[in-house]
Structure 1
Amino acid sequence: MKKIFYLFIIVSVTIITSCSKDKKITPGGDGGGDNTDGPSKTGSTLDLIKDSVFLYAQQTYYWNTSLPTYATFKPRSFSGTSDLDALQTEIDAMTQYSKNPETGKPYEYYTPAPGYAKYSFIDDGSVSGELGGVKGDFGFAPVWISEDDIRVKYVYPGSPADLKGLKRGYQIVGINGRTGSGLTYDNGTNVDFLIKAYSQSNDITLTLKKPDGTTFTAAMSTGSYTVNPVLVTKVIDAGGGKKVGYIAFNSFTADANAVPRLNTAFNTFAGSNITDLVVDLRYNGGGYVSTAEYLSNLIAPASADGSVMFSYNFNQMMTEGKATILKNQKRKDDNGQTYSYFDINYTPSANTIRFSKADVPATLNLSHVFFIVTGSTASASELTINNLIPKMDVKLIGTTSYGKPVGFFDIDINKYQMYIPQFETKNASGNGGYYAGMKPGSTTYPGKLANDDVTKDFGDPAEGLFAYAINYVKNGTFAISGTRIQSANQLKTFSVDQSREVGIQVEGKKFRGMILNDPKAKK
């Protein structure tokens, strides 16, 4: 969807639109006095952006009724090391008012860093580029699997890390000259060092140990590359006429990027007559809802065709068509027609999505679908799982997922894009609300609770979590006799819950979300 970036001016003043993100904001006002009962008509560009952040939340935030008044919140009072940091500080504070009655904590309570927003953030446009299929980083991610053992957990093909020979499972024994106790997990200085080194720097030098015990050094710089979200596709013969399809899907990138690659994988599965499917979403933080819909259609049985997949649920102000601030958010549809987000019908009846098997090239006849999940599995990944639970036999393997049943669309404010939850999704059974995550092996999510095994590559039948799925297909149980995955488990000193939390923590501010990128229901 092409965007027209707008210049925000508070509602009572004429709206100016522009294709440029670099113009200044014209001061506006809502009829209130200077920071008393509403925004001032004067102020710096940053002041007006801060006002805009809060005013959009007042009308579109899913928990908007929990927010205080403008005068109480004082948007212009927030500061930071940069303009973007100041805006994120404001958003973090804004999200702590909505309380989940089940926990007594904010819905956006972020366990690794209380006081920070779990879901909401503001961005300089990097996320839209990344989900469009182009990234500009090193192309790998690390994780501690024990206090003294850091591993490469994935590498994107064609990325700088891939070109330097990094592979999943390689042990990282040196980072920018730092070794030994300087790389021990400490929930503090060493964690911050690792996050900054791989996700906030333009250059990095790693010393890595291969499975054969040899080491090598890889010095690399960040670079632009096209993301292939399908990391691995395999078909495993499980014997007795059973075949297991496996796909490691790492990001719900835009349709143009993801759909052709998904089609290739599922056409292979259909041609191989697989009986069971394993979808590895263990590090998939989400992305576009339209891609989640497409993957759900690929996996769903023919009997699901035409039935409810899920529904969007917006706040009351949006549902009743009173979120007038959305008139400022101008867009163009695929036919080149201009509309605004205010023109969308946000009622549940107009936002119920149905399965459509005609939209996908292959239909599988599956006995089971297994989803491999961890604390890094979020949002659009969880949406896909939730969509399919009422329609087929779904089992989860791994650690408890991130817990993000809410999503958003992008709000353009000057040169920034703000993402705050505007909707919650519920499946055909009316179930959602998995704020604590989806726990494998629980009553709601049958399966196997187990640690991630980062010592083996994706799709390796000996990899711990995949091995559980194969064993279930063969024997109807997750229990594995003998020592098949014992060597991997011996390396892990973290409990299952600790492993989950460490994985989330090390990812820092990685994007996690489901973005409504194709609103269909117009008023």
Structure 2
Amino acid sequence: MHKKLFTTGTKAILTGIACAALLAACKKGNDGGSPAEGVAEDTLKYLTYQIMQVSYADGGRNAAAGLPTYYWYGKVPQLNPLDSKYPNADTLLARMKEYAINPATNQPFDHYSFLDRDGSLTNRLMNGISSQTFAAGSGGYGLDYGLGKDQNGKIHIYVLYADKNSPAGQKGITRGWEVTAVNGTTVFNESQVTYNMLNEAFFYSSSIILGLKKPNGETTTATLNTGSYAINPVLFDTVFTVKDKPVGYFALYTYSSVINSDGAATATKTALDETFAKFKARGITNLIVDLRYNGGGATNTAEYLDNAIAPAAAAGKLMYTSKYNDKLTEHLSTVGLKASVNFAAATGGLKLDHVFFITTGNTASSSELTLNNLDPYMDVKLVGEKTYGKPVGFIDFTISMYDASHNKKYLADLYAINFETFNANGKGGYYTGIDVDAPAVDYVNVPWGNTDYDDNLLKIISFLETNSFSGQRAAKARIAAANDQLRVAIPGTRTQHGFNGMVNYEVSKAVSRFNR
């Protein structure tokens, strides 16, 4: 069930009523469905366009009414959102995303904006609750998978990660386990048929039977049913000893908010508090943050991490700035927007020589914000692969209407780009990703924290031992010897179900208050 986190206020609801009344005379909706379905979809199209391009405000009661929210609104020509060429709101949004072109790539800047039609993503990110719906990241089972190929070209499936609180995590399933059977299918190939079958089974079903093989060779079968659970983003944590010094390491797969819609701490905050308490108690002098599959989420979680990691010298100083479109910028204080965020008056108390981030092309948005914010204040090093490239973020607009029976009907949450972020040195604009200091291979069948075969960890340990990422000859020899057992992800088949974005829910609340 959708949980209302905030609405666009009176304007969106009243406009929905007016739009629905105007369209109610239609015998059929634009989508060819029932009149009710057509009215709802046309209302969603109309309100999506209004919020992005015209006005999200409250019908003129406030002086700043009539403000477009879309970051690139000035690039989009005037469109008729009810034109039959847009059969649904997603088609309209896709068209609007085409106009702002990045001169560095000759491609649209915006390949991010979308509509969340069941509210599950909003509930997942803001309240830290994963529902039983299947379109919300890692589906109802709480795990994601990757495909690797052996020396003979045979396809193997591996668990990339599993939330500890999820149905998969509760069965003990974790990274590095091989999936040998999916609902009785045991032969997989590099074909669209296989990919579609796996996608449907893992993300759009309510039950799945998996044959599994653990790294030690033990086999088992697990039947998973979808279920709701409180997200624990910390997949694994430990403390290594390198040259007699403690090094903290943890893997984080999502940025669910540390504060929920009621202002209370979430399970995410509890898990992060516990992890950093361990690190502080052990007196770590270096930290490794594994974000290889982290597509981002709430900006307050990025801020939490930055405050926990940053040196004492950063306390009270600028963390990052947010840039909005020119119309919103003229009325920042009026509409409750803020242009900058500072570090806390006191940071987490860690005294780190370096912080290392493990990244891949799945490391996006709030994850990138985290490491970019720390760069001006401490030694930040990236290992793995270039990041995804998303220096822009969303304000969540919940769109509703009243139907013919005067019942309020939820339509969708609109996530359209509203702001761009820059660190204290003005660094941003990384639309093509952030480069790493040391490239490393992601072997999808190597468990978390494995210092024998995880190429990312071996590169970091090499740096800590020799001040160079190219050391660890013994480690290289081990990897070479085990090459026929290590699986590199097949390009283009890595996780596509994690959310890529950052959402400022605090700004969303401020905008909602303005609109009431």
Query: Does the pair score TM above 0.5?
Result: yes
TM-superposed CA distance for 1:493, in Å, is: 7.0
Alignment of 1:232-243 (within 5 A): 232-239=236-243, 241-243=244-246
2:238–2:248 CA contact under 8 A, matched in 1: yes
* 2:506 partner SS: coil
Does the CA-based 8 Å contact 2:286-2:353 persist in structure 1? yes
Give the CA deviation at 1:276: 0.6
Q: 2:394 touches 2:419 (CA, 8 Å); kept in 1? A: yes
Match of 1:277 among 269, 283, 287: 287
Change (3 A) 1:307 1:167: same
Q: Which residue matches 2:446?
A: 456
**What per-residue deviation string (whole Å, max 9, x for no partner) do you get for residues 427-477 of structure 1?**
11111111111221xxxxxx2112212222222222221222122111211
Aligned residue runs from structure 1 range 15-414, under 5 A: 15=14, 26-27=20-21, 44-58=39-53, 59-71=68-80, 74=82, 77-79=85-87, 86-108=88-110, 117-131=111-125, 132-136=127-131, 137-146=140-149, 148-180=155-187, 183-186=188-191, 188-239=192-243, 241-255=244-258, 256-257=265-266, 258-321=268-331, 343-346=334-337, 350-358=338-346, 360=347, 362-414=348-400
Given that 1:75 and 1:90 are in contact with CA atoms closer than 8 Å, whether structure 2 keeps it comes out as no
Q: Is the 8 A contact 1:100 1:106 kept in 2?
A: yes
Structure 2 counterpart of 1:393, which letter?
A: D
Q: 3-state SS of the aligned residue for 2:101? A: coil
Q: Matched residue of 1:162: which SS?
A: helix
- Pairs aligned (count): 447
2:505 corresponds to which residue? 517
Amino acid in the other structure paired with 2:443? D
Counterpart-to-counterpart distance in 1, 2:485 and 2:416 = 39
Query: SS state of the match for residue 158, structure 1?
Result: coil
**Percent identical:** 36
What is the alpha-carbon distance in structure 2 between the residues aligned to residue 388 and residue 106 of structure 1?
Answer: 29
Deviation at 1:215, TM superposition (A): 2.7
Aligned to 1:82: none
1:419 paired with 2:415, answer yes
Distance of aligned partners of 1:232 and 1:214 in 2 relative to their CA distance in 1, 3 Å threshold = closer
* Cα distance per residue 1:60-109 (max 9 Å; x no partner): 111111212123x6555333xxxxxx33233223212211010001113x
Structure 2: distance between partners of 1:15 and 1:262: 41
Q: Name the CA distance, whole Å, in 2 between partners of 1:53 and 1:162.
A: 38
Q: Give distance in 1, aligned partners of 2:327 and 2:481.
A: 55
Contact 2:15 2:47 (C-alpha < 8 Å) held by counterparts: no
Q: Give the structure-1-normalised TM-score.
A: 0.79
Aligned to 1:44, the other structure's residue is in SS state: helix
Root mean square deviation, CA, Å: 2.8
What secondary structure does 1:363 align onto?
Answer: coil
Amino acid at match of 1:60: T
Instruction: Answer yes or no: is the 8 Å Cα contact 1:138–1:159 preserved in 2.
Output: yes
TM-superposed CA distance for 1:502, in Å, is: 2.8
- Whichever residue aligns with residue 463 of structure 2, its letter is Y
When residues 392 and 484 of structure 1 are mapped into structure 2, their CA distance, relative to the original with a 3 A threshold, is farther
In 2, are the aligned partners of 1:382 and 1:404 still within 8 Å (CA)?
A: yes
3-state DSSP of counterpart to 2:289: strand
SS at 2:198 equivalent: helix
Structure 1 stretches lacking a partner, 5+ long: 18-22, 30-42, 80-85, 109-116, 322-340, 441-446
Give the conservation status (yes or no) of the 8 Å contact 1:149–1:171. Answer: yes
Which runs of 5 or more residues in structure 2 are unaligned? 24-37, 54-67, 132-139, 259-264, 401-409
CA contact (8 A) 2:7 2:397 kept: no
Q: Are 1:153 and 1:168, in contact at CA under 8 Å, matched by a contact in 2?
A: yes
2:493 to 495, 498, 502: 502
Encode CA deviations 1:88-146: one digit per residue, 9 max, x unaligned. Answer: 233223212211010001113xxxxxxxx434333321012212121131011001133
Regions of 4+ moved over 6 Å: 520-523
More deviation in 479-488 or 202-211?
479-488
Q: Is the Cα contact below 8 Å between 2:6 and 2:398 reproduced in 1?
A: no
Judge conservation of contact 1:24–1:45 (CA < 8 Å) in 2: no
Deviation for aligned residue 1:356? 1.5
Q: Secondary structure at the match of 2:194?
A: helix
Change (3 A) 1:491 1:313: farther
Q: Which stretch shifts more, 451-460 or 229-238?
A: 451-460
Matched, 1:481 2:493: no
2:429 is aligned with 1:433: yes
Residue type matched to 1:128 in 2? Answer: T
Shift of 1:402: 1.4
